[in-house]
Structure 1
Amino acid sequence: MAPSATGEPAPMHLPAALKASTINASVLHGPRDLRLERRCIEDPGTGELQIAVKTTGICGSDVSYYKKFANGDLCACMPLSLGHESSGVVVAIGPQVTGFNIGDRVALEVGIPCGQCGICRRGRYNLCKRMRFRSSAKSVPHFQGTLQERINHPAVWCHKLPDNISFDTAALLEPLSVAIHAVNRASPTPGSTALVLGAGAVGLLTAAMARQAGCSTVTIADVDQGRVDFAIAKGFATHGYVVPRPLHTSSSCASIYSGSSSGVSTPDGVMTPASTLSFQSQLDSAKSLAAEMLALTSSSNPLLVDDEDDGVDVTFECTGKEVCMHTSLYATRSGGKVIMVGMGTPIQTLPMSVAHLREIDILGIFRYANTYSTGIRLLCARDRLGRGAGYILPDLDQMVTHRFKGLENAKGAFELASRTIDDDGNLVLKVVIEA
């Protein structure tokens, strides 16, 4: 391959066999109306790579679109390919791209900011108002997701992978980035105590990153016994608390914990909606639940320093539920922090005086920025370092509990991803679709 005028090897451009080709794509046309279609794909444009998608993880927001053709306030108004947790292989290189070769393995960062506004220049590109994010209905026309055989994607948002990171683990770099960003916002000091509400994929990874950041105790809470057990057994958290599932929420608002960042849940039994309870009753339940969590975990490894400083240093709320925010405020010590990770209930009524009088900082996060390289380094480090080197990030491959082969099986993958256990009673944590 001849060198370019700059001395760099000239990029390998699109093979003739790929020109003006068609691909299979999984396309959502309405609630649960998922179709396998043929789409045309153009040559990669200036600054783009063409990626053969190998693995896509199903996120809670994808499940929401699948079931309702909407995610929160965002309603799809045209057919949409879902998927944004993805990895793949470079199969073609567009003009003015250097540093990549055909066959390179990459993780895809699928949010594309404008790169020109003041927010982007300050490095907080996740907040860019002109952000286009794959599989989201926010921009019109919608930015199509990664559940396609191949996509063209800006090279600057493709992250090279070392050989020791599998495609499945690479796809989990997206939720891992959320966790990294959440812990960066919390900035816990070494020896801090942390509580994570919700043991879905993001909650598990947030707990692991809190441990990575030096938190001495990390308690994870969820209504699902299997998820809490998994978190402890696999080293994501140091302590676990299974939130009781009462017959009705008047005895505990905890029964509407989602167990995931998306708010998807399949609680057992018939429960009275939280909206039927008085606000004070909700607060009383949240306060009692917080006290139970702290009391039970303190027996083996104190979260309560003394009677005047009861609570954890930082709470990561990973469900997006109003009652979980209530619990977060009561479980956090004076001068501590609550990090809002999960996006669920858009309008919430909170006991702000709890945060006000105790100087609890409430910090929001939205996706992530400048995190992929950190995630890749952490995943590489776990193979280089031994057990004596301190806390090592768990093997993320073990989070993938179910794999579906081929886009033609996407519907089954989405149906399963909306559940917490499969037909055989096995834990459903992360479902992926592989090429």
Structure 2
Amino acid sequence: MVHETCDCQQYRSHCNARSHTTHCLFLDGSTGPRKTTPSSYMIIPRHTSACFCQTSTLSRLLILQSCSQIQECRSIELPLAGEIQIAIRSTGICGSDVSYFKKFANGDLCACQPLSLGHESSGVVVAIGPQVTGFTIGDRVALEVGVPCGQCGICRKGRYNLCKKMRFRSSAKSFPHFQGTLQERINHPAVWCHKLPSHISFDAAALLEPLSVAIHALNRAKPEPGATALVMGAGTVGLLTAAMAQESGCSAVTICDVDQGRVDYALEHGFATHGYVVPRPLHPSSSSSSVVSGISTPGADGAMTPASSILSTLDSRLEGARTLAHDILAVSSSSCSPSVEDVSVHDDEHSPNIDTNNVQDGEEDDEGVDIAFECTGKEVCMHTALYATKPGGKVIMVGMGTPIQTLPMSVPHLREVDILGIFRYANTYATGIRLLSASKRLKQALKGPSGKTLVKRGLPSLDNMVTHRFKGLHRSREAFELASRTVDDEGRLVLKVVIEA
């Protein structure tokens, strides 16, 4: 609860009291007289940002320890100077969270102490620390969970996502680990909390985090008006990247995935103009970087395998990627208007007989997309993105996956294809909030008399991307298990899973 008073001396007298009856604003939103103890209320003087009489409160959180789920109840201290305390309302489950949940690691990052997951979150301000201005109790906020040092040269240049001292919630990259947002309450620096308008839901606000990745990718790509784009991967980040490509002026955006349902969803909801379902099985996603100098290399059973055999396998994978790129481009150029029929499913038996030498040798200089966004982190998808990009184009590495990959470097080298890396995001939340607000206003303004949208404009609904919701931290295990699947037990598409308070 919050008690308004005139000076700090008065609140100190309350702190020393065993109990007190006063007219207050409680943290649950209720008001009125209530008998309280020092541990159940806080006091905000009128002339300062905040003063506190309680020292801590209990907050449940989800803690992982050695791949097991433990729900704990811990004491959360009052926010320090510059911090606010947020009651978390919605947290989206990211692929990295699922990886930590299942393996206690994400790629090369291994957790070495108990780790709370979650970094796509929104909530309500329930306490305000000293030296914080611009926030009031009850403000709705989205959390930007990466906290840089703010002092280094990189930070001063505005590229704080690359700060070496960055602490990012639910990541094992920094030690001690910066605990994630899957908890009832959390203290977070106020400067990294973004106030939300009332018409943006908590679920949509949580998805501002993956939307920020997409915004950052487009900021790096800098597409020209009317450019063409390819997005490899139709997960949350891939879908939002495709939507942002259209928002940034791309006239044709093709999205690819191995899952038919996700490609269908992308087309039906306006995330992309064209779609392609990649045939299964793909070539193995493991890197072929085991090729070393010499005539042989150890195999899985310890026996020496001729290097020529490994190189032959690599050549086969590259040939498959060239063919796949040509098939995707054929779909991309098949129609100028968005349509669900743009989805193409090919397999080895029905795939057209295509001469891939044109793509390899660059004889058709204009064939390819201007920008390819690789959102899976898979080596074969990176190969395909390189072959599908026209000379002078760009490949944007968005997804993080296989850390060591073998790439056909002559493709970007001889065709001057720029390869740009993306790591999280910087300076994107304000843009994301403006985009969501503008999309909401446009959709309301363009509704016809029957309630049907007359014109598709702005970003697709982020709320509709949430396919499954779980109420309470006690259902976290169910949520994580489902988030690792593409369909639920009823055969419905699984796209974004959120845990709500």
Could you tell me the TM-score, scaled by structure 2's length?
Answer: 0.78
Aligned to 2:400: 343
Q: Match of 2:490, SS?
A: coil
Is the CA contact (8 Å cut-off) linking 1:12 and 1:101 kept in structure 2?
A: no
Quick one: distance in 2 between partners of 1:157 and 1:88?
13
Q: How far has the Cα of 1:382 moved from its partner?
A: 0.9
Q: Does 1:333 align with 2:390?
A: yes
Amino acid in the other structure paired with 2:401? G
Residues 136-161 of structure 1 deviation map (CA, whole Å, 9 limit, x = unaligned): 11111110000111000000000000
Aligned to 1:97: 132
Q: How far has the Cα of 1:132 moved from its partner?
A: 0.2
Q: How far has the Cα of 1:3 moved from its partner?
A: 9.4
Quick one: distance in 2 between partners of 1:171 and 1:40?
25
Is the CA contact (8 Å cut-off) linking 1:13 and 1:92 kept in structure 2?
A: no
Q: How many residues align?
A: 405
| Aligned partner (choices 339, 353, 369) of residue 312 of structure 1 | 369
Q: Does 1:19 align with 2:17?
A: no
Q: Match of 1:278, SS?
A: helix
Quick one: distance in 2 between partners of 1:295 and 1:38?
56
Identical amino acids, percent of aligned pairs: 70
Aligned to 1:395: 461
Amino acid in the other structure paired with 2:494? V
Amino acid in the other structure paired with 2:114? P
Moved more, 170-179 or 387-396: 387-396
Is the CA contact (8 Å cut-off) linking 2:439 and 2:457 kept in structure 1?
A: no
Q: Within 5 Å, give how 1:245-256 maps onto structure 2.
A: 245-246=280-281, 249=282, 253=283
Aligned to 2:485: 419
Aligned to 1:73: 108
Residues 270-326 of structure 1 deviation map (CA, whole Å, 9 limit, x = unaligned): xxxxx897110010000000000101221113999x943100000000000011110
Quick one: distance in 1 between partners of 2:56 and 2:246?
49
Q: Within 5 Å, give how 1:53-72 maps onto structure 2.
A: 53-72=88-107
Structure 1 residues not aligned, in runs of 5+:
258-274
Moved more, 160-169 or 34-43: 34-43
Q: Match of 2:437, SS?
A: helix
| Aligned partner (choices 75, 83, 89) of residue 48 of structure 1 | 83
Q: Within 5 Å, give how 1:381-392 maps onto structure 2.
A: 381-385=438-442, 386-387=445-446, 391-392=457-458
Aligned to 2:22: none
Q: How far has the Cα of 1:12 moved from its partner?
A: 3.9
Moved more, 390-399 or 364-373: 390-399
Is the CA contact (8 Å cut-off) linking 1:3 and 1:10 kept in structure 2?
A: no
Amino acid in the other structure paired with 2:386? L
Q: Within 5 Å, give how 1:159-238 maps onto structure 2.
A: 159-238=194-273
Cα gap change, 1:35/1:121 in structure 2, threshold over 3 Å: closer, same or farther? same
Quick one: distance in 2 between partners of 1:277 and 1:60?
33
Quick one: distance in 2 between partners of 1:56 and 1:374?
20
Is the CA contact (8 Å cut-off) linking 1:211 and 1:391 kept in structure 2?
A: no
Quick one: distance in 2 between partners of 1:9 and 1:334?
62
Q: Match of 1:40, SS?
A: strand
Amino acid in the other structure paired with 1:140? F
Q: Match of 2:84, SS?
A: strand
Q: Within 5 Å, give how 1:118-197 maps onto structure 2.
A: 118-197=153-232
Q: Which has the larger radius of gyration?
A: 2
Residues 214-245 of structure 1 deviation map (CA, whole Å, 9 limit, x = unaligned): 00000000000000000000001011101111
Quick one: distance in 1 between partners of 2:386 and 2:409?
9
Quick one: distance in 2 between partners of 1:161 and 1:399?
19
Cα gap change, 1:301/1:256 in structure 2, threshold over 3 Å: closer, same or farther? farther
Quick one: distance in 2 between partners of 1:141 and 1:233?
44
Cα gap change, 1:3/1:188 in structure 2, threshold over 3 Å: closer, same or farther? farther
- How much is the aligned-residue C-alpha RMSD, in angstroms? 2.1
Aligned to 1:39: 74
Q: Does 1:28 align with 2:64?
A: yes
Quick one: distance in 2 between partners of 1:236 and 1:317?
16
Is the CA contact (8 Å cut-off) linking 2:276 and 2:328 kept in structure 1?
A: yes
Cα gap change, 1:105/1:307 in structure 2, threshold over 3 Å: closer, same or farther? same
Q: How far has the Cα of 1:19 moved from its partner?
A: 3.4
Cα gap change, 1:181/1:285 in structure 2, threshold over 3 Å: closer, same or farther? same
Quick one: distance in 2 between partners of 1:87 and 1:371?
16
Amino acid in the other structure paired with 1:225? Q
Quick one: distance in 2 between partners of 1:339 and 1:281?
24
Aligned to 1:282: 317
Residues 19-72 of structure 1 deviation map (CA, whole Å, 9 limit, x = unaligned): 3211111110122x0111111110100000000000000000000000000001
Amino acid in the other structure paired with 1:104? D
Taking CA–CA contacts closer than 8 Å with sequence separation of 6 or more, which of the two structures ends up with the larger relative contact order? 1
Quick one: distance in 1 between partners of 2:312 and 2:136?
59
Amino acid in the other structure paired with 2:58? T
Quick one: distance in 2 between partners of 1:319 and 1:277?
25
Quick one: distance in 1 between partners of 2:413 and 2:405?
16
Q: Does 1:354 align with 2:411?
A: yes
Quick one: distance in 1 between partners of 2:427 and 2:398?
17
Amino acid in the other structure paired with 1:11? S
